[in-house]
C-alpha cells in the first residue's frame, strides 16, 4: 500500500467521526474550512475546495478552500452546468482531468489564482436526488489523480452530504435573517428566462408592495381632513379614467372593464362612506383609508376563491392611489408604474393590462410560476419581460435602478454605466432598423423553384392585426381566442365577443381567418373561472374538454364567431386538443346547433364555415385517416404535440432538456400526419413555435407542409429562408432525417446542413 493510499484510508476514518468535526468547529464556516484542510492534507493536494449549491440562483458558490485565494470565498459563483465544477453538479458525475485547462468546460476565475494547477478531481455532494454541492481537489502535477482517488473522494462526498445539507440550510437562514427586509436579495446580475423580448431600464417598483406598504405602515403623522379626502377621490377617479382610456386604445378587447373594480369601489357606500364616517368622527383621512381598506384586504385575502383574492390587489392599488394623492410621495407623485421596471412575484393578465396602460418599462417575474399566457400577452404588448427564479427579488428597495434584457433573459440590478451605455447603443440600433420597415412583400411566398408556400399569422390580441397585414400575411392561421377571455375580469358576453371577432374579420379584408375555440384550462385558467384545483392541469379539464363541459360558454363563443363572419368568404372554426373522433363530432354538432339557432332567431350569420381541428395529441396520429374524412382542415400545434408526445411539461424548466421538437418520434409522427392529410387533399398547416424555426423549416417543406402560421414578426426571415430553398433537396433531407433513430443523430444531421445565406 502506498503512502497516498494509506492517507486515503485515514481520511475516510477521520471523516467518519463527523460529529467530532462539527462539535469541534466554532461555526459552519469553520467546519467547512476544517473539512477542506483535512481532505487536502490526507490527499496531499495543495488545493481542496467546497462549493455549495445556491438553489435560488441556480449557482454553485465557493464556500471554503485551501490553496485558492481565500478572498474568492463567496465571490466565485458559477451557474450549474457551467465550468468543470458546474458540469460535475449538473451531471451528478465526478470529473477527473490530468490537464484541467485543456478541457473545453474549464473556466478560469482570476480571483482564485487557479491557473498553475494541472490536475483536477471533483465529485458531486448529493443526498439522494438533492444536490448539495461539489468537492474539488487540485494539484500542480499533471495526471496526479487515479481511479482510487475518485472512489475515495466519492466516499468522502457521500459522508459529508448530510452534514453539509444542514450547513447549507443554516447558512441560508443566517443570510436571510441578517439582511434587512428591503434588500434580502440584491445580486447585481440574475440569469433568468426570456419571456418577452426587448430591453428596459428604469427604477424598480415591487408590484403591489409599494401600495401595500402605504396601507400597512402608518405615515409619520396621519393627516388630511374631509376636503383633502374628497380632492383625493376626484384626482384618483381622473387618473383612473385616463388609464382606462389608454387601456381601451391599446387593447380594444379589454373593453371598459379593466379598472371596473376600482370605479365600483370608489362608488361603493360601504367602502367610501365608511371612510367618510370615520373622518367626520375626527379620524385623519390617511388613517381612515388605511383602516377601512385594511379590513377589506383581510376579508378578501382569506377567501378560498381565487377571483375574490385577485381583488386584493385592486383594493391595495386603489387605496394606495388615494393615499398618494393625499400625500404625494416625493419620488412617485402618481403612484403608478410608468417608465419603471416592475418586480412581481406573479401577475394576473388583468394586472398586466393595468401596467401596460401605465406604460410600464419592463417586468421581472420573480418566481418559478412561469404562467405563459402572461408572457404571451406581454409579447403581444411588446413589454420586455424576464422570469427569474429569485423570490427574494421582491425585497429589492423601491427605486433601485434595474435593467432587463428580455432578448436573452438577463436582469442587471443597479447596472454600471458601461452596461447601460451598451444597451442604449443596442436600443438605438434597433430603432434605426425599425424605422426602415421591411419592404411590403408583394405576391405569395415561393421556394427557389417556385412552389407556393402560404404564410399565415398567429394572433392573440387585436393589437397585432396591423403588423400581420404589414408583414403581408396570407390570413390568420391561428387566432387564439382565449386571450380576450384571459385579460378581462369576467367571461365576455356573446355581444362583446362578436365585436372583437368582427374587428378581426374586417381587418383581414377577405383573407381567411381561423378562429380557434377557447383553449382555457390548464395553466390558462382565468381567476374568475373559479375552477377546481387539478393535480395535472395539462391533462385535465382543458381546452375542448372545458368547452364541451360548459356548453353555454361554448355556444356563446361559436354564435359570436358565426355572427362576426357574416359576409366573409372564408371563416374557419378550429377545435383545440381533440383526442377522439367522438369529441370532434360533438364539437362540430355544437357549431351546427348554433347555426340552426341563429337561423331560427333570424340573426345574420355565416352558415357554412370550414370546421377543422388541431393536431396536438399523439392519439390523433393513429386515427388521422378517419379524422381526414371528417375534418375540413388541420393545424398542427407542435407546442403541445411535443409536450404530449414526449410527456414533458412545456413550461417546466426542470425538464426543459427533455422538450425536444427534434425527437425522432416527433418528426416521424409529423410526417405521418402530413402524408394522410395530403393524401385526403385536406389543407394542413403548422402553427406551433416549430413553424418559425429556421432549422426545421427545410424538413417541414420536405415532408409536404405548404402552410405555416407564425408570429408576424418572424415573417421576413421565414420568407427569405423559403425563397432560398429548393423543394427536391428539402425532400431528400427530410428522408434522411426520418431515418435517424436518436435525438443525437437528428441533431448531428441538423447541424451538418449548411444554412443558406439569408442575409440577402
Q: Which of residues 450-489 bind ligand PEP (CB under 6 A)?
A: 478, 480
Q: Candidates 42-50, 85-93, 384-392, 633-641 — which segment interacts with ligand PEP by CB under 6 A?
A: 633-641
Q: What are phi and psi of 50, to 5 degrees?
A: -120, 130
Q: Which is nearer to Mg ion, 611 or 617 (CB)?
A: 617
Asked whether the beta carbons of 364 and 385 are under 8 A apart, the reply is yes
| Among 639, 675, 694, 747, interactor with ligand PEP by CB under 6 A | 639
How many residues in the shown chain lie near Mg ion by CB under 5 A? 2
> Which residue from 514, 635, 633 is spatially nearest to 565, judged by alpha carbons?
514
In 3-state terms, what secondary structure has residue 515? strand
Q: Which is nearer to ligand PEP, 257 or 387 (CB)?
A: 387
Q: Which of residues 686-705 bind ligand PEP (CB under 6 A)?
A: 687-688
Asked whether the beta carbons of 268 and 318 are under 8 A apart, the reply is no
Taken as a whole, the chain contains a residue count of: 760
719 binding ligand PEP? (CB under 6 A):
no
Q: What is the C-alpha to C-alpha distance for residues 454 and 368, in angstroms, rounded to an integer?
A: 38
Q: Candidates 47-55, 124-132, 556-564, 636-644 — which segment interacts with Mg ion by CB under 5 A?
A: 636-644
Q: Which of residues 245-264 bind Mg ion (CB under 5 A)?
A: none
Cα dihedral 488→492→495→501 (10° resolution): 60
Residue 53 CB contacts under 8 Å (≥ 6 apart), including other chains: 59, 60, 61, 80, 89, 131, 132, 133, 168
DSSP character at residue 517? -
Q: How far is the CB of 583 from ligand PEP (least distance, A)?
A: 17
Catalytic residue among 390, 687, 692, 730: 687
Q: Candidates 53-61, 360-368, 635-643, 659-667 — which segment interacts with ligand PEP by CB under 6 A?
A: 635-643
In 3-state terms, what secondary structure has residue 261? helix
Residue 88 burial (CB count, 10 A):
27
Choose the contact partner of 139 out of Mg ion, ligand PEP, none; CB within 5 to 8 A by kind.
Answer: none
Q: What is the DSSP string of 690-738?
A: GGG-TTTHHHHHHTT--EEEE-GGGHHHHHHHHHT--HHHHHHHHHHHH
DSSP character at residue 439? P
Choose the contact partner of 480 out of Mg ion, ligand PEP, none; CB within 5 to 8 A by kind.
Answer: ligand PEP
Q: What is the C-alpha to C-alpha distance for residues 534 and 549, in angstroms, rounded to an integer?
A: 15
640 binding Mg ion? (CB under 5 A):
yes
Q: Which is nearer to ligand PEP, 88 or 687 (CB)?
A: 687
Q: What is the C-alpha to C-alpha distance for residues 381 and 168, in angstroms, rounded to an integer?
A: 41
Q: How far is the CB of 361 from ligand PEP (least distance, A)?
A: 27
> What are the grid coordinates assigned to 2, written together?
502506498
Q: Which is nearer to Mg ion, 89 or 684 (CB)?
A: 684
DSSP strands (E only) in 548-603:
571-575
Choose the contact partner of 28 out of ligand PEP, Mg ion, none; CB within 5 to 8 A by kind.
Answer: none
Helices (H), 608-653: 619-622, 624-630, 638-646
Q: Which of residues 613-632 bind ligand PEP (CB under 6 A)?
A: 616
637 binding ligand PEP? (CB under 6 A):
yes
| Among 187, 320, 484, 637, interactor with Mg ion by CB under 5 A | 637
**687 noted as active-site residue:** yes
Q: Candidates 234-242, 449-457, 637-645, 655-663 — which segment interacts with ligand PEP by CB under 6 A?
A: 637-645
Q: How far is the CB of 616 from ligand PEP (least distance, A)?
A: 5
Q: What are phi and psi of 469, to 5 degrees?
A: -70, -45
Catalytic residue among 42, 139, 262, 373: 373
Site string for Mg ion, 586-625 (x = CB under 5 A): ----------------------------------------
**373 noted as active-site residue:** yes
> What are the grid coordinates assigned to 471, written together?
408583414
Residue 82, CA atoms < 13 Å, CB-side half-sphere: 12
> What are the grid coordinates assigned to 21, written together?
468535526
How many residues in the shown chain lie near ligand PEP by CB under 6 A? 10
Asked whether the beta carbons of 108 and 116 are under 8 A apart, the reply is no
519 binding ligand PEP? (CB under 6 A):
yes
| Among 336, 638, 671, 685, interactor with ligand PEP by CB under 6 A | 638
Which sequence positions are flagged as catalytic?
373, 687
Contacting residues toward ligand PEP, per CB under 6 A: 478, 480, 519, 616, 637-640, 687-688
Contacting residues toward Mg ion, per CB under 5 A: 637, 640
Amino acid at each position: 500500500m502506498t503512502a497516498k493510499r494509506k492517507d486515503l484510508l485515514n481520511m475516510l476514518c477521520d471523516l467518519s467521526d463527523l460529529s467530532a468535526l462539527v462539535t469541534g468547529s466554532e461555526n459552519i464556516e469553520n467546519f467547512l474550512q476544517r473539512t477542506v484542510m483535512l481532505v487536502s492534507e490526507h490527499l496531499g493536494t495543495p488545493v481542496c475546495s467546497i462549493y455549495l449549491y445556491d438553489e435560488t440562483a441556480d449557482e454553485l458558490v465557493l464556500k471554503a478552500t485551501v490553496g485558492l485565494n481565500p478572498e474568492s470565498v463567496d465571490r466565485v459563483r458559477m451557474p450549474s452546468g457551467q465550468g468543470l465544477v458546474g458540469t460535475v453538479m449538473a451531471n451528478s458525475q465526478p470529473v477527473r482531468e490530468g490537464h484541467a485547462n485543456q478541457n473545453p468546460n474549464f473556466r478560469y476565475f482570476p480571483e482564485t489564482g487557479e491557473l498553475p494547477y494541472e490536475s483536477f478531481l471533483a465529485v458531486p455532494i448529493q443526498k439522494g436526488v438533492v444536490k448539495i454541492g461539489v468537492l474539488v481537489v487540485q494539484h500542480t502535477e499533471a495526471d496526479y489523480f487515479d481511479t482510487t482517488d475518485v472512489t475515495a473522494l466519492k466516499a468522502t462526498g457521500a459522508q459529508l452530504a448530510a452534514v453539509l445539507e444542514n450547513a447549507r440550510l443554516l447558512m441560508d437562514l443566517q443570510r436571510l435573517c441578517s439582511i434587512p427586509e428591503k434588500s434580502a436579495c440584491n445580486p447585481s446580475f440574475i440569469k433568468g428566462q426570456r419571456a418577452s423580448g426587448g430591453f428596459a431600464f428604469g427604477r424598480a417598483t415591487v408590484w403591489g408592495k409599494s401600495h401595500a406598504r402605504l396601507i400597512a405602515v402608518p405615515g409619520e403623522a396621519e393627516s388630511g381632513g374631509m376636503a383633502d379626502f374628497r380632492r383625493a377621490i376626484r384626482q384618483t377617479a381622473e387618473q383612473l379614467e385616463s388609464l382606462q382610456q389608454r387601456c381601451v386604445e391599446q387593447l380594444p378587447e379589454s373593453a371598459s372593464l379593466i379598472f371596473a373594480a376600482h370605479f365600483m369601489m370608489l362608488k361603493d357606500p360601504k367602502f367610501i362612506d365608511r371612510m367618510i364616517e370615520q373622518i367626520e368622527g375626527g379620524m385623519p383621512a390617511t388613517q381612515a383609508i388605511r383602516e377601512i381598506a385594511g379590513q377589506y384586504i383581510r376579508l378578501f385575502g382569506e377567501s378560498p376563491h381565487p377571483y375574490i383574492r385577485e381583488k386584493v390587489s385592486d383594493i391595495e392599488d386603489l387605496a394606495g392611489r388615494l393615499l398618494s394623492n393625499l400625500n404625494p410621495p416625493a419620488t412617485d407623485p402618481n403612484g403608478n408604474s410608468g417608465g419603471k421596471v416592475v418586480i412581481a412575484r406573479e401577475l394576473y393578465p388583468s394586472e398586466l393590462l393595468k401596467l401596460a396602460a401605465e406604460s410600464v418599462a419592463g417586468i421581472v417575474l420573480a418566481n418559478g410560476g412561469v404562467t405563459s399566457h402572461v408572457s404571451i400577452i406581454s409579447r403581444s404588448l411588446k413589454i420586455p419581460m424576464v422570469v427569474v427564479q429569485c423570490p427574494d427579488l421582491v425585497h429589492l428597495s423601491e427605486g433601485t435602478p434595474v435593467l432587463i434584457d428580455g432578448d436573452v433573459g438577463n436582469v442587471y440590478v443597479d447596472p454600471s454605466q458601461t452596461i447601460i451605455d451598451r444597451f442604449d447603443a443596442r436600443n438605438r440600433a434597433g430603432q434605426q432598423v425599425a424605422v426602415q420597415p421591411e419592404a411590403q412583400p408583394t405576391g405569395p411566398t415561393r421556394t427557389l423553384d417556385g412552389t407556393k408556400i402560404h404564410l399565415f399569422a398567429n394572433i392573440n390580441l387585436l393589437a397585432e392585426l396591423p403588423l400581420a397585414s404589414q408583414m403581408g400575411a396570407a390570413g390568420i392561421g391561428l387566432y387564439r381566442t382565449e386571450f380576450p377571455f384571459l385579460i378581462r375580469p369576467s367571461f365576455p358576453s356573446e355581444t362583446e365577443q362578436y365585436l372583437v371577432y368582427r374587428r378581426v374579420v374586417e381587418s383581414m379584408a377577405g383573407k381567411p381567418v381561423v378562429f380557434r375555440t377557447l383553449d382555457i384550462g390548464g395553466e390558462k385558467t382565468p381567476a374568475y373561472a373559479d375552477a377546481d384545483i387539478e393535480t395535472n392541469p395539462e391533462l385535465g379539464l382543458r381546452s375542448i374538454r372545458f368547452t364541451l363541459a360548459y356548453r353555454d360558454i361554448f355556444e356563446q363563443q361559436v354564435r359570436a364567431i358565426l355572427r362576426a363572419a357574416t359576409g366573409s368568404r372564408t371563416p374557419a372554426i378550429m377545435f383545440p386538443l381533440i383526442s377522439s373522433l367522438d369529441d370532434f363530432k360533438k364539437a362540430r354538432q355544437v357549431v351546427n346547433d348554433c347555426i340552426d339557432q341563429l337561423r331560427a332567431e333570424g340573426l345574420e350569420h355565416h352558415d357554412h364555415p370550414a370546421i377543422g381541428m388541431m393536431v396536438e395529441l399523439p392519439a390523433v396520429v393513429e386515427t388521422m385517416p378517419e379524422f381526414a374524412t371528417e375534418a375540413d382542415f388541420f393545424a398542427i400545434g407542435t407546442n403541445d404535440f411535443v409536450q404530449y408526445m414526449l410527456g414533458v411539461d412545456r413550461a417546466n424548466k426542470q425538464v426543459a432538456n427533455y422538450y425536444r421538437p427534434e425527437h425522432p418520434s416527433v418528426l416521424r409522427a409529423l410526417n405521418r400526419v402530413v402524408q394522410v392529410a395530403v393524401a385526403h387533399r385536406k389543407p394542413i398547416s403548422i402553427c406551433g413555435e416549430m413553424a418559425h424555426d429556421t432549422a426545421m423549416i427545410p424538413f417541414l417543406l420536405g415532408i409536404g407542409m405548404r402552410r405555416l402560421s407564425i408570429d408576424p414578426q418572424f415573417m421576413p426571415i421565414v420568407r427569405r429562408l423559403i425563397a432560398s430553398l429548393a423543394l427536391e433537396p428539402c425532400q431528400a433531407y427530410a428522408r434522411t432525417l426520418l431515418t435517424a433513430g436518436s435525438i443525437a443523430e437528428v441533431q448531428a444531421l441538423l447541424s451538418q446542413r449548411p444554412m443558406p445565406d439569408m442575409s440577402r
